[in-house]
Amino acid sequence: MRRKEKEIQDQTDISQIIRKCEVCRLGLSQNNIPYIVPISFGYDGEALYFHSTGSGKKMDMLSVNSNVCFEFESDVKLVTNEDKPCNWSFSFQSVIGFGKAEELVSQEGKIEGLKRIMEQYSDKKWDFPEMPLKKLRVWKIKIESITGKQSMDFVQQ
């Protein structure tokens, strides 16, 4: 990271940022063409989880290139300056990481992934009926590297 004073190195802090987010932006690439898609997600400290339908652009891209990038941001706030337009900025915290996506194909794997996703959004314990799982695809991204960043004027809300 170029601006070391903005880097968040503590993994606990990075996990806290991820846990307070509602959306993950997933970066994919095929034939040197990038694609970013917002996804709902689960997180267990070592991996991310997401689900999808049986087909679509995301699935097409993952089938040829399992390398992904992901991004989270939280507490974004515009910081204005009434006198100097070039001094406008943002207060924020963000996380960017890289990993490999693998499809969870077993019933148990899919259920575990879906539980992780639901834990991100709800405290309730959920059961998953077998029928919808046959058509649903669940993915796990093993995190290979991750960094956190925050603005120097970060203001928690």
* Tens digits of residue pLDDT in 87-145: 887 788 999 999 999 999 998 999 999 999 999 999 998 888 766 777 789 999 999 99
Q: Evaluate whether 149 touches 8 at the Cβ level (below 8 Å).
A: yes
Averaged over 19-47, what is the pLDDT?
Answer: 96
How far apart CA 128 and CA 153 sit, in angstroms, is: 44
155 or 25, higher pLDDT = 25
Instruction: Give the CATH number of domain 4-150; options: 2.40.33.10, 2.30.30.30, 3.40.250.10, 2.30.110.10.
Output: 2.30.110.10
| Neighbouring C-alpha atoms within 13 Å toward the C-beta of 23 | 8
pLDDT band of residue 44 (cuts 50, 70, 90) is very high
Q: Is the pLDDT of residue 157 over 50?
A: no
Instruction: Map out the domains of the chain as residue ranges.
Output: 4-150
Averaged over 24-48, what is the pLDDT?
Answer: 96
Q: What are phi and psi of 32, to 5 degrees?
A: 65, 20
Average pLDDT in the chain: 89
How far apart CA 67 and CA 56 sit, in angstroms, is: 17
How far apart CA 67 and CA 132 sit, in angstroms, is: 27
Q: Residue 65, SS3?
A: coil
Tokens coding 21: 């987010």
Adjacent-strand bridge partners of 42: 49
Q: Whose structure tokens read 């070391």?
A: 4
